[in-house]
């Protein structure tokens, strides 16, 4: 397939916000795609070149794109950057510059999908001396052989900024429609493979039912819905329910196949190399030949033996060097709470009650190495509330509440799992910086750096974008925020601006975490703008000490 044919579908998808129209467009594309190219088309339509589970990344920066565009067009890199700032989107920049390019490359060849995906996949494999120039050359080759619209979408794909409104649900429904496959079978196949490219190929051959869970390959994990109290938990899950501490670690799915152990995060990124200590723990203390167990890995304080906050071990997740040293400095305990595969059999269709029985048979507990999560099965609201308080006192985030008859269904769904956490008061924070957006948000400030007060200083405590709307006529828009902030700009660094502290916003969030990223030492998790506080003076925004207080409250401390 020529890349220009795919670009026409990109443009069609961009023009509509209607789900059914997107499904119709995409199903038409899939019908016109040969079986051997279906996976490539699925990846590209999502702005990727690998399936979700694949650990390889393109890893291409905006700076390298500037070099590639300058190389192809002959325009000074600084001038390209100025146009980028004006348009807010490098895809639009390259489209405009290619339109005005005076001389066509003599060796220009018509791009096809294979050429695009092959060049972009090569980017992930490059390391060592001369890598930068080779990476620039690979992308420059694509741009030089592209027409303006093709160049635009190549650049957006390289930068992981392709936004044509195609989410997983639309992919699922499009595969179902294109190949007359049952939607539930398509979704189940994706949950087991984490690869809609493979699912599409199997659906075309009418082989979806042949898919089985595979050891060593990540699957989607089951998620929880937030509830405000135990009463709401009972209403959602029925009585009795199983309560477990909600631990402040990181989710890890452990795949064991004899002596081969692999670890995957909730986002299906492999972290086996970063945690050799977990690998050895599993080999020694998981008493079954093969299994997939769902766990929370949590840092352990070597002096006290108590759990540490997630941030203490988060640096291990991306670590590439000094791994053994880091494992000694920041040891982890594996808290196991579910099993979804054991002895060659999927357990997803077994109840939680049955899965827990199996788990208790195969896990040999060793404190500070591997343990089963504590559990309380009860139909008594008072007992659940007491267990909740106990969990908070131990430094946990709250409770996980589970329907004891629930099957293991990847994703969030009603009547499965709920999470119970302290409802935290919103914060009044001041905007001290922002970043210009891309795509539909080009030309608008769309990501806002917020700060608390510490005496006469303003300390960063996160970035927030959620809660602002794109369309006029809605509560608070990016256009309105940009209009408020532009006169306050004091300094510009590329797309990031520093603004005079004046605009105060009320920010909601799920929790406060310790973070070395921001000058306050704290970060807001899942922040969202609630409203502008025009009536508030700067002297009344939340202080660092107040943020520290909220941090302690959410842990059940005072």
Query: SS3 string of 142-159?
Result: HHHCCCHHHHHHHHHHHC
**Are residue 531 and residue 449 in the same domain, yes or no?**
yes
Mean pLDDT on 493-520: 90
Instruction: Give the C-alpha separation, 190 to 168, whole Å.
Output: 10
**Are residue 110 and residue 135 in the same domain, yes or no?**
yes
Mean pLDDT on 411-419: 83
Q: Which structural domain range is residue 128 located in?
A: 3-158
Q: Kindly state whether residue 516 falls inside one of the protein's structural domains.
A: yes
Of 425, 407, 427, which is closest to residue 417 (Cα–Cα)?
A: 407
Q: Residue 7 CA to chain centroid, in angstroms?
A: 26
Instruction: Give the C-alpha separation, 172 to 183, whole Å.
Output: 7
**How is the chain split among helix, strand and coil, in percent rounded to 5?**
40, 25, 35
pLDDT value for 120: 95
Instruction: Give the C-alpha separation, 279 to 97, whole Å.
Output: 51
Coil/strand/helix, residue 230: helix
pLDDT value for 158: 94
- List all residues 6 or more positions away from 247 whose beta carbon is below 8 Å from its beta carbon: 296, 298, 307, 335, 373, 396, 397
Q: Cβ–Cβ contacts within 10 Å for residue 43, how many? A: 22
State percent of the chain over pLDDT 70: 96
CA–CA–CA angle 268, 270, 275 (5° rounding): 130
Mean pLDDT on 411-417: 81
Quickly tell me which residue has 């789900």 as its tokens: 19
Q: Cβ–Cβ contacts within 10 Å for residue 515, how many? A: 19
pLDDT value for 558: 44
**Are residue 267 and residue 415 in the same domain, yes or no?**
yes
Task: Among 421, 442, 464, identify where a domain stops.
Answer: 421
Mean pLDDT on 218-241: 91
Q: What is the pLDDT of residues 134-178, one digit of tens each?
A: 999 999 999 999 999 999 999 999 998 898 989 889 999 999 999
pLDDT value for 557: 54
CATH number, domain of 88, equals: 1.10.3260.10
**Are residue 400 and residue 434 in the same domain, yes or no?**
no
**What mean pLDDT, rounded, does the chain reach?**
90
Q: Is the pLDDT assigned to residue 230 strictly greater than 60?
A: yes
Domain count, the chain: 3
**Are residue 416 and residue 530 in the same domain, yes or no?**
no
**Are residue 435 and residue 359 in the same domain, yes or no?**
no
Contact between residue 148 and residue 72 where contact means Cβ atoms under 8 Å apart: no
Q: Is the pLDDT assigned to residue 217 strictly greater than 80?
A: yes
**Are residue 409 and residue 471 in the same domain, yes or no?**
no
Instruction: Give the C-alpha separation, 30 to 46, whole Å.
Output: 13
**Are residue 452 and residue 390 in the same domain, yes or no?**
no
**Are residue 541 and residue 455 in the same domain, yes or no?**
yes
- Terminal-to-terminal C-alpha distance of the chain: 63
Q: Kindly state whether residue 166 falls inside one of the protein's structural domains.
A: no
Instruction: Give the C-alpha separation, 244 to 276, whole Å.
Output: 27
From the list 152, 246, 312, 402, the catalytic residue is 246
526-538 as b/e: b if 16+ CB within 10 A: ebbbbebbeeeee
Instruction: Give the C-alpha separation, 51 to 240, whole Å.
Output: 40
CATH number, domain of 334, equals: 3.30.470.30
Q: Kindly state whether residue 204 falls inside one of the protein's structural domains.
A: no
Predicted TM-score of the model (pTM): 0.75
Element housing 82 (H / E): helix 77-87
Q: Is the pLDDT assigned to residue 475 strictly greater than 80?
A: no
Q: Are strands 376-378 and 445-454 parallel, antiparallel or unpaired?
A: unpaired
Q: Is the pLDDT assigned to residue 389 strictly greater than 80?
A: yes
**Are residue 408 and residue 487 in the same domain, yes or no?**
no
Q: Kindly state whether residue 215 falls inside one of the protein's structural domains.
A: no
Position 472 confidence tier, pLDDT thresholds 50, 70, 90: low
Task: Among 120, 143, 158, identify where a domain stops.
Answer: 158
Any catalytic annotation for residue 357?
no
Angle separating helix axes 196-204 and 38-45, nearest 10 degrees = 140
Q: Kindly state whether residue 68 falls inside one of the protein's structural domains.
A: yes
CATH number, domain of 455, equals: 2.40.50.140
**Are residue 48 and residue 144 in the same domain, yes or no?**
yes
Instruction: Give the C-alpha separation, 65 to 70, whole Å.
Output: 8
Mean pLDDT on 442-460: 91
Task: Among 374, 401, 421, identify where a domain stops.
Answer: 421
Q: Kindly state whether residue 192 falls inside one of the protein's structural domains.
A: no
**Are residue 435 and residue 492 in the same domain, yes or no?**
yes
Mean pLDDT on 475-484: 86
Of 284, 390, 255, 281, which is closest to residue 333 (Cα–Cα)?
A: 281
Between the alpha carbon of residue 21 and those of residues 166, 440, 471, 540, the distances in Å are: 11, 19, 20, 49
- List all residues 6 or more positions away from 260 whose beta carbon is below 8 Å from its beta carbon: 216
Instruction: Give the C-alpha separation, 367 to 390, whole Å.
Output: 19
Q: What is the pLDDT of residues 284-334, one digit of tens each?
A: 999 999 999 999 999 998 888 888 877 677 778 877 778 888 888 889 999
Q: What is the pLDDT of residues 44-78, one digit of tens each?
A: 999 999 998 887 888 888 889 999 999 999 999 99
């Amino acid at each position: 397939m020529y890349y220009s044919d795919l670009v026409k579908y990109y443009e069609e998808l961009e023009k509509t916000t209607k789900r059914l129209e997107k499904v119709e467009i995409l199903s038409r594309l899939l019908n016109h795609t040969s079986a051997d190219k279906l996976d490539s088309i699925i990846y590209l339509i999502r702005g990727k070149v690998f399936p979700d589970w694949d650990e390889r990344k393109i890893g291409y920066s905006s700076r390298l794109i500037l070099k590639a565009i300058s190389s192809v067009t002959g325009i000074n890199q600084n001038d390209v950057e100025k146009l980028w700032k004006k348009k807010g989107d490098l895809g639009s920049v390259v489209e405009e510059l290619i339109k005005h390019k005076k001389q066509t490359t003599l060796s220009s060849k018509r791009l096809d999908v294979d050429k695009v995906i092959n060049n972009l996949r090569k980017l992930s494999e490059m390391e060592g001396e001369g890598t930068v120039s080779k990476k620039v050359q690979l992308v420059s080759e694509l741009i030089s052989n592209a027409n303006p619209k093709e160049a635009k979408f190549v650049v957006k794909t390289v930068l992981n900024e392709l936004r044509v409104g195609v989410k997983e649900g639309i992919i699922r429904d499009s595969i179902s429609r294109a190949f007359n496959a049952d939607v539930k079978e398509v979704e189940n196949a994706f949950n087991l493979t984490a690869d809609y490219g493979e699912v599409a190929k199997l659906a075309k051959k009418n082989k979806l039912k042949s898919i089985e869970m595979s050891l060593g390959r990540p699957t989607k994990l089951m998620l929880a819905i937030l509830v405000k109290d135990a009463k709401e938990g009972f209403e959602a899950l029925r009585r009795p329910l199983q309560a477990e501490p909600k631990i402040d670690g990181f989710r890890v799915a452990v795949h064991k196949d004899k002596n081969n152990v692999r670890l995957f995060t909730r986002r299906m990124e492999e972290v086996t190399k970063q945690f050799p200590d977990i690998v050895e723990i599993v080999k020694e203390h998981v008493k079954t030949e093969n299994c997939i167990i769902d766990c929370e890995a949590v840092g352990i304080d070597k002096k006290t033996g108590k759990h540490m906050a997630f941030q203490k071990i988060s640096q291990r997740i991306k670590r590439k060097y000094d791994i053994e040293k880091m494992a000694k400095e920041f040891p982890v305990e594996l808290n196991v709470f579910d099993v979804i595969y054991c002895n060659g059999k999927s357990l997803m269709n077994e109840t939680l009650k049955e899965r827990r029985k199996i788990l208790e048979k195969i896990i040999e507990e060793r404190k500070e190495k591997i343990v089963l999560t504590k559990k309380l099965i009860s139909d008594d609201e008072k007992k659940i509330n007491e267990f909740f308080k106990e969990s908070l006192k131990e430094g946990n985030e709250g409770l996980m509440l589970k329907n004891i008859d629930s099957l293991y269904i990847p994703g969030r769904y009603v009547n499965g799992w709920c999470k119970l956490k302290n409802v935290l008061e919103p914060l009044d924070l001041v905007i001290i910086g922002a970043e210009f957006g891309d795509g539909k948000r080009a030309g608008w400030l769309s990501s806002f750096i917020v700060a608390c007060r510490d005496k006469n200083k303003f300390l960063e405590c996160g970035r927030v974008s959620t809660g602002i709307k794109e369309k006029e006529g809605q509560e608070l828009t990016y256009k309105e925020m940009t209009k408020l902030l532009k006169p306050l700009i004091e300094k510009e660094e590329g797309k990031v601006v520093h603004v005079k502290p004046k605009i105060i916003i009320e920010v909601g969030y799920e929790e406060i975490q310790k973070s070395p990223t921001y000058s306050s030492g704290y970060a807001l998790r899942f922040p969202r703008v609630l409203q502008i506080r025009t009536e508030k003076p700067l002297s009344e925004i939340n202080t660092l000490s107040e943020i520290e207080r909220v941090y302690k409250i959410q842990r059940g401390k005072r």
